Structure 1
Amino acid sequence: MKNLFLSAAIVLGGLTSFASTSPISNTIVKAISIQDDYTEIKVVEVPTAITDALKKAYPDAVLTKAFKNTKNEYKLEVTVGDKTGNLFANADGTWIKQ
């Protein structure tokens, strides 16, 4: 009979450790996006060095929109077939990874 009470006490004691509550913590994550402000320009205002580099690298690409920032970097919206993407270049026509 002692063994029965002892085993019941052990089982109930073990179950109470699972019933304890863990502290709830709220984690707030802030995402900050650093982006240079590009202003839209006319496609004809894009330097010829960039358009020549575009024709050389992507012969089938069509330049649909162009943007420029204060560092004379250009963001080009190009379309190849049914796909649209962005390319970044310096004023001298060298490509920038972004």
Structure 2
Amino acid sequence: MKKLYYVAAFSLASLTAFAQNTAEANIGATTEVSVQDNYTEIDSSELPEAVTAAIAKDYPTATVNKAYVNKDKQYKLEVVLKDGASGTLYADQDGNWIEM
């Protein structure tokens, strides 16, 4: 009877050793890519003239914090107004606003 308890204890111990999470092995070199909803971050100086003109016309107190572009040349702009309000604007390469 003692042997049965020892066998059961050793079996349980060996099974729990195999049930360990191996996620720790995946920790290591990671690459951070700034892609949001298929948009890639760009410098605000890379915005087309039509987009910067549309911002200046419609949001004269806005400052572009971050700018993103997708493969269709649509721009996602994170802006902050002078009064502290912030938001996200979407525009095409011709400076037309896009509803998202």
TM-score, reference length from structure 1 = 0.62
Q: Which amino acid aligns with 1:75?
A: K
Match of 2:95 in 1: 93
Q: Which amino acid aligns with 1:83?
A: A
Match of 2:45 in 1: 44
Q: Distance in 2 between matches of 1:83 and 1:58?
A: 12
Match of 1:82 in 2: 84
Shift of 1:36: 4.0
Shift of 1:64: 1.0
Q: Distance in 1 between matches of 2:64 and 2:96?
A: 16
Q: Which amino acid aligns with 1:59?
A: P
Shift of 1:84: 1.2
Shift of 1:52: 0.3
Kindly report which structure 2 residues correspond to 1:1-98, keeping only aligned pairs within 5 A, or say none: 36-80=37-81, 81-98=83-100
Unaligned 5+ segments in structure 2 are 1-35
3-state SS of 2:87 partner? strand
RMSD (Å), alpha carbons: 1.2
3-state SS of 1:70 partner? coil
Match of 2:31 in 1: none
Identity of aligned residues (%): 47
Q: Which amino acid aligns with 1:55?
A: A
TM-score, reference length from structure 2 = 0.61
Q: Which amino acid aligns with 2:77?
A: L
Q: Distance in 2 between matches of 1:93 and 1:82?
A: 24
Count of aligned positions: 64
